[in-house]
Amino acid sequence: MRIGIDLGGTKIEGIVLDDSGAERVRLRVPTPRESYDATLDALSVMVQNLEAQAGARCRIGIGHPGAISPATGLVKNANSTRLNGRPLDVDLKKRLGRDDVRFSNDANCFAVSEAADGAGAGAPVVFGVILGTGVGGGIVIDGRPLVGAQAIGGEWGHNALPLPRDDERPGPQCYCGRKGCVEAWLSGPAFQGQYASAAGRELRATDIPEAAAKGDAIAAACFERYCDRLARALANVINLLDPHVIVLGGGLSKIPQLYERVPELWKDYIFSERDRIATMLRPPVHGDSSGVRGAAWLWPA
């Protein structure tokens, strides 16, 4: 059997899959915020609990923010910044006292899962998007993730927002040190902050479109700007990769209005005929489970 663990910014989720791919156990706990060591402890306890409930020793796949650098062996580019500069794979294997553990970027895990038997099943090129605490992406071509020379394939969240308006320059500060990154505009916390700044009160990101539908003019304006920025950012991906399917994941993927409004807007930014854009924008079939399922699939059946 195989364990998949999704190390997220707010939660750690784990599952056990049997050899047929059926789910046997699922657990979820909050992600510790106090330290790197606390994260290692939580992952170790998660593995122990999953194996105890499954009644068997399992191979382990971990989906995590950022990437393990091929040059240094240390985590880089994680929006959970306490992981950066740390040998996550070495340290966790040492904690567990075993080597049957594989690691991959969380967005790659999500994209592989949805390309295999989810919203992108059967599509030759799938781009998986994470819109949550951070903004990530994964590219799957003919069923295989494109990792790249620097292990940063699909990291669209740290490109600059395309075609910025005058009032979008230089853009908000990103944790990576630059200003105006896609992540700094489109993450869940960024969207919430934009509404709070304009309205003087706070709403959860997923509640802003609902408030707009009920007549909140500020929420409507904020959501329209969000859709336009997402359309511009995804149009750049389409112009470069020309994927057949883009699948949204993360908390903001639960906003149903995105799937209609963003494709209407991206027609103005894609280098193709406006009436012949074949790329489809889809919600995930497996929802929050895609990342953790993809992590389990780091081990073949």
The residues, ordered by sequence, that sit 6+ positions from 219 with a Cβ below 8 Å of its Cβ are 195, 199, 203, 208, 209, 211, 212
What's the confidence (pLDDT) of residue 198?
A: 98
Degrees (nearest 5) of the Cα angle 176, 177, 181?
65
The tokens for 85 are 């500069």
The tokens for 300 are 């073949």
Nearest to 252 by CA among 211, 220, 280, 284: 284
The CATH number of the domain covering residues in 119-284: 3.30.420.40
What's the confidence (pLDDT) of residue 299?
A: 84
The CATH number of the domain covering residues in 2-105+289-296: 3.30.420.40
What's the confidence (pLDDT) of residue 289?
A: 82
State whether residue 87 is helix, strand or coil: coil
In the chain, which residues have pLDDT < 50?
none
What's the CA gap between 99 and 84, in Å, rounded? 22
19-59 confidence digits (pLDDT tens): 887 899 999 999 998 899 999 999 999 999 999 999 999 99
86-122 confidence digits (pLDDT tens): 999 999 999 999 999 999 999 999 998 999 889 999 9
pTM of the model: 0.87
Domain ranges of the chain: 2-105+289-296, 119-284
What's the confidence (pLDDT) of residue 301?
A: 62
What's the confidence (pLDDT) of residue 195?
A: 98
What's the confidence (pLDDT) of residue 151?
A: 92
Check if 2-105+289-296 and 119-284 are the same fold.
yes
